[in-house]
Copies of this chain bind each other. A is one copy, B any other.
Amino acid sequence: MPIGAKVWAIAEGYIPRDNFAERDRRFVSHETACLLNCGDADAEVRLTLYFSDREPVGPYRFKLPARRTLHLRFNDLNDPHPVPRETDFASVIESDQPIVVQHTRLDSRREALALLSTLAYAGS
């Protein structure tokens, strides 16, 4: 049974400057879009980035197979462009199948970790 929506928006986005002293990928500050495709059809997903002072960038394209989740780090996006660090952004995620999207950030700029998470906004 497919659950979710085909258009999602995340109004918040911010990746601190890469911390090269942190060698453990688990603890590098990151922004993540957690995607879930519960359905039985593979989904083609397109992600577009929005900024405060320039035109949108994208789409970034990837496949989300049937009955799979993908925790996509914005830090890892490279094609067509890496996500600029220390820059406010937002994102829109479009899929040809219903999916569910949750937004999470881990901030390790200081020794203590900080976390945030929220459901993304499901468009019509």
Q: Using CB atoms and an 8 Å cutoff, list the residues of chain A in contact with chain B.
A: 1, 3-4, 7, 9-14, 26-27, 32, 34-36, 38, 50-53, 55-56, 67-71, 86, 88-90, 92, 100-107, 109-124
Contact = CB atoms under 8 A, between A and B. Distances in A.
A50 B71 contact: no
The number of times this chain is found in the oligomer is: 4
24 contacts: A1-B7, A3-B121, A9-B36, A9-B38, A9-B100, A11-B36, A11-B102, A13-B34, A50-B67, A52-B71, A53-B68, A100-B121, A102-B103, A102-B118, A105-B117, A106-B114, A112-B113, A114-B115, A115-B116, A116-B116, A117-B118, A118-B118, A118-B119, A119-B120
